[in-house]
Every structure is written in structure tokens, then in C-alpha cells.
Amino acid sequence: MRYFFLPVIIIFILASSALASYREAFEKEFLFKSWGGEEPEVNACIDCHSSDIMKKEFQSVMQSWKRSWHYQNNVLCHDCHGGDYKDATMSMSHQRGFLGTPKYTEVPDFCGKCHIGILRNYLESGHGKALQATGKGPNCVTCHGSHNIQKANIEIINEGLCTKCHTYERAKIMKQALFATENKIRDIDKKLEDLKIEGIYVGDEKRELFSTQAEFRALFHTIDADLVKQRTDDFTRKLNVIDTKIKNSFNEIHFRKNFSAFLMLIFIGLSIVVSLLSKTYKD
Ligand code: HEC
Ligand code: HEC
Ligand code: HEC
Ligand code: HEC
Ligand code: HEC
């Protein structure tokens, strides 16, 4: 009978780990799919702009873009500039949707066709209003660059950049509020990874954290220090809820570990008793 249960247990363990890796593959495929799908095999924009015939001042564009976060996420030339990447002779014609190089004041709409929430925050902000009224506000490129755009973080808020047009005081207050929440997010993310290593499914918490983080990071673009402070408090509350859930999961893991150790001890104790008993019986 003993020998019957062993294979059953092994099959069960194998099946559940196969299920977990299937779930991970599924998440990768469908929940975090990158923007444009596969990179097309022929891309006239990239081919022609990489070639030696391109004028010198435009050659750095390709190099910058290849180092960018957009490149890694499959955001290609035509995704921003429009045009037809399949047809080299017509690719930069306006009939094929080519937009050309945006003017300084056109940049927010240019980027905002994909970053919709951020565009909304930006347009309502002091910066967006200043850009529209006087052309003096910073646009997206002022802070992020155009071709070598990297994953954003609060280090973009620095004295060198932010004092180009005004003092640093308000920027500093905002950076401090953002910093506190960002640390908390990083902390929770690390704990979730630890739980995942222990084999606990954390998909739901991950998604919750991810949406909170996205909402939070877009918030900077309001450049409203009071609003950022107030929302930081809200986010901290939300994050604390996730944190409590994580703590409970860890407690459960410890309990289970202690409990199996306890069972193991009882088992060993019983075996000793049984073997002693059988010995005395034989003697
Ligand atoms: C994320 C959007 C984005 C992507 C992707 C992108 N560009 Fe641009 N590009 C811009 C913006 C914005 C400008 C305007 C630059 C500025 O305001 O400094 C620009 C400007 C240019 C210019 C004019 C540069 C100048 O100095 O006048 C060229 C040429 C160009 N892009 C080519 C390309 C090529 C080729 C690709 C693909 C390898 C590409 N771009 C990908 C956003 C993009
Ligand atoms: C056959 C070569 C070729 C192809 C294909 C090509 N380009 Fe260009 N592109 C050029 C050249 C040459 C220039 C420089 C023109 C000049 O001298 O100002 C240029 C300039 C540009 C500029 C800056 C000038 C402007 O009009 O705003 C952008 C942006 C640009 N290309 C984007 C693209 C995109 C996007 C594609 C694909 C949809 C593309 N190009 C396909 C050769 C090409
Ligand atoms: C005054 C500088 C500034 C301007 C102007 C600006 N940004 Fe940002 N952006 C930042 C900073 C700083 C962060 C990082 C905020 C954080 O990490 O909390 C950021 C973050 C981002 C992010 C990442 C947010 C996320 O969800 O992960 C994107 C995307 C972005 N900006 C796009 C844009 C676009 C599009 C525009 C123009 C409409 C723009 N930015 C204008 C400074 C700027
Ligand atoms: C065709 C759609 C598209 C356009 C147009 C576009 N982006 Fe993006 N952008 C993306 C995608 C997709 C990502 C990668 C996913 C992500 O990180 O959110 C990204 C990522 C970013 C990030 C990093 C976000 C992070 O996680 O920290 C910044 C910053 C950014 N874009 C700024 C810009 C700016 C500035 C422009 C205009 C010059 C622009 N984008 C135009 C699609 C676009
Ligand atoms: C290209 C010029 C320029 C740059 C660069 C710039 N700003 Fe501004 N900023 C403005 C203008 C114009 C205003 C609106 C007029 C004012 O309040 O001074 C403004 C206003 C502000 C305000 C007050 C908004 C309000 O509603 O009261 C804050 C906060 C701010 N900027 C933060 C920043 C930060 C943070 C950076 C750096 C990441 C930065 N700015 C970079 C031009 C700029």
C-alpha cells in the first residue's frame, strides 16, 4: 500500500509545478505583451536611416533610439512619426500618414497619442498651460529626450534641469513626497518576489501594485505639490493594505513550516517507540 501512494504524490507534485509554469507563460504572453507585437522583417525607415547616405546630423538618431526603452518595447520610427515602413519610395509621404518632425508646441500631442493619461495631467498643469499660452513651458522632450528615452524615475527632477526656468523650491517638495512612496513601492515589490520564490501565487497583488504605481508615477505631471502630497497619503494607505496581506502570507508560511517540523518530530518519536516495542517483543 505504501508503494502505491509514493508515485501518486510524485505525480501530484510534478503536475502542480507544470501548472505554475504554464500560468507564468500565460501571464508573460497575454498580460505583459509589448506594444507593437513582432518587429516587421522589412522596415524601410530603419534600413534607410541606418545607411551611410543619411546626413551626418541624423545618424545619431538611430544610435540613440537603439539604446532606448522604446526600442526594447518595440516602439518604432513610424509609431511616433507615422509614414509607411513597408514602402521605401513612399514612406515619408504625407498621404501615407507621415507626420514629420513635431514643432516644440506639438510634442505633447505627438507623445500623448500613446501616453494618454500623462498628456491629460500635463495639459492641466502649470507647464502645459504655459506651453499653450506662451510657448515657455517645458514639453515632454525637455525632460525625457526624444530618441534615447529611458525608463522614468524621480532623478529627472534635478536642480540642473528644473532651475533652467525657475527656482528649485517647489520641485524639491514634490520630489520628497514622490521619494517616500517610491521607496514603499520598491519595498513591497521585493517582498512579493520573496513570496513568489516560496511558491505563493502573487499575481493579484502584483497587478494591484502595478496599477497603483502607474497611477502614482503619472501624477508628477500635474506638478501640483499639494495634490501630490495628498495623493501620496492615499497611495500609502493602499500600499499598507498590500503590505498587511504580505505579512499574513509570511506568517502562514512560517506556521506551515513549523507545523510540518512538528509532524516530523511526532513521526520520528513514534518510529522510535514502535521499534523499541518490537525489539522488546522479540526479546
Ligand atoms: C518616441 C517617439 C519617437 C520615436 C520612436 C522616433 N522618433 Fe524621431 N523624433 C521624435 C521627436 C519628438 C522629434 C523632435 C525632436 C526634438 O524636438 O528634439 C524627432 C525628431 C526626429 C528627426 C529630426 C531630428 C533633427 O535633429 O531635426 C529625425 C531625422 C527622426 N526623428 C528620425 C527618426 C527615426 C529614423 C526613428 C526610428 C529609428 C525615430 N525618429 C524614432 C520622436 C520619435
Ligand atoms: C529611402 C530612404 C528613407 C526612407 C525609406 C525613410 N527616410 Fe526618413 N529621411 C531620409 C532622408 C535622406 C532624410 C533627410 C532629409 C533632409 O535632408 O532633410 C530623412 C528625414 C527624416 C525625418 C526628419 C525630417 C522631416 O521631414 O521631419 C524624419 C522624422 C524621418 N526621416 C522619419 C522617417 C520615417 C518614420 C520613415 C519610415 C516611415 C522614414 N523616415 C523612411 C531618408 C529616408
Ligand atoms: C518637467 C519635466 C517633465 C515633463 C515636461 C514631462 N515629464 Fe514625464 N516624467 C517626468 C518625471 C520626473 C517622471 C518620473 C515620475 C516618478 O517616477 O514618480 C516622469 C514619468 C513619465 C512616464 C512614466 C510614467 C509611468 O507610468 O511609468 C512617462 C511615460 C512620461 N513621463 C511621459 C511623458 C510625456 C508623454 C510627457 C509630455 C506630455 C511628459 N512625460 C512630460 C518629468 C517630466
Ligand atoms: C506608439 C506609442 C508611443 C508613443 C507615440 C510614445 N510612446 Fe513612450 N512608451 C510607449 C511604450 C509601449 C512604452 C513602454 C511601456 C512602458 O514602459 O510604459 C513607452 C515608455 C515610455 C517611457 C518610460 C516609461 C517607464 O516605464 O518609465 C517614457 C518616459 C516615455 N515612453 C516617454 C515618451 C515620450 C516623451 C514620447 C514622445 C516623444 C513618447 N513616449 C511617445 C509607447 C509610446
Ligand atoms: C522650459 C522651462 C521649464 C523647465 C525646464 C521646468 N519648468 Fe516648471 N514651470 C515653467 C513655467 C513657465 C511654469 C509656470 C509659471 C510659473 O509658475 O513659474 C512652471 C511652473 C512650475 C511649478 C508650479 C506649478 C503651479 O501650478 O504652481 C512647478 C512645481 C514646477 N514648474 C516644477 C518643475 C520641475 C520639477 C521641473 C524639473 C523636472 C521644471 N518645473 C522644469 C517652466 C519650466
* Counted domains in the chain: 3
- Phi-psi region at 138: left, alpha or beta (left = phi > 0; alpha = psi -120 to 50): beta
Q: What is the pLDDT of residues 260-278, one digit of tens each?
A: 889 999 999 899 989 888 8
**In ligand 4, which atom is closest to the CA atom of 111?**
37
My answer on whether 172 and 107 are in the same domain is no
pLDDT in tens, 172-218: 989 998 998 889 999 999 999 999 998 888 899 899 899 888 888 88
Q: Say if 163 falls within a structural domain.
A: yes
3 state SS for 110-138: HHHCCCHHHHHHHHHCHHHHHHHHHCCCC
> 9 CA to middle of ligand 4, Å?
48
Q: Is the CB of 114 under 6 A from ligand 4?
A: yes
Same domain, 161 and 195: yes
Residue 27 lies in a domain: no
Ligand 4 atom 23: the closest Cα is on which residue?
A: 151
> Which residue puts its alpha carbon closest to atom 39 of ligand 2?
45
Confidence bin at 24 (pLDDT 50/70/90): low
Q: 10 in a domain, yes or no?
A: no
Q: Residue 83 pLDDT more than 90?
A: yes
Q: How confident is the model at residue 30 (pLDDT cuts 50, 70, 90)?
A: very low
CA atoms within 13 A on the CB side of 126: 8
CA 152 to ligand 4 centroid distance, Å:
9
CB 266 within 8 A of CB 214: no
Domain assignment present for 75? yes
pTM: predicted TM-score of the whole model, two decimal places: 0.84
My answer on whether 130 and 166 are in the same domain is no
Mean pLDDT of 122-135: 97
Does residue 86 share a domain with residue 162?
no
Provide the domain limits for residue 196.
156-283
Whether residue 161 is found in the same domain as residue 250 = yes
Dihedral over Cα of 168, 236, 219, 217: its sign: positive
Around ligand 2, the residues with Cβ closer than 6 Å are 44-45, 48-49, 54-55, 58, 77-78, 81, 83-85, 88, 91-92, 100-101
| Same domain for 260 and 165 | yes
Residues 6+ apart with CB under 8 A from 70: 149
The DSSP symbol for 103 reads: P
- Choosing from 147, 182, 217, the residue where a domain stops is 147
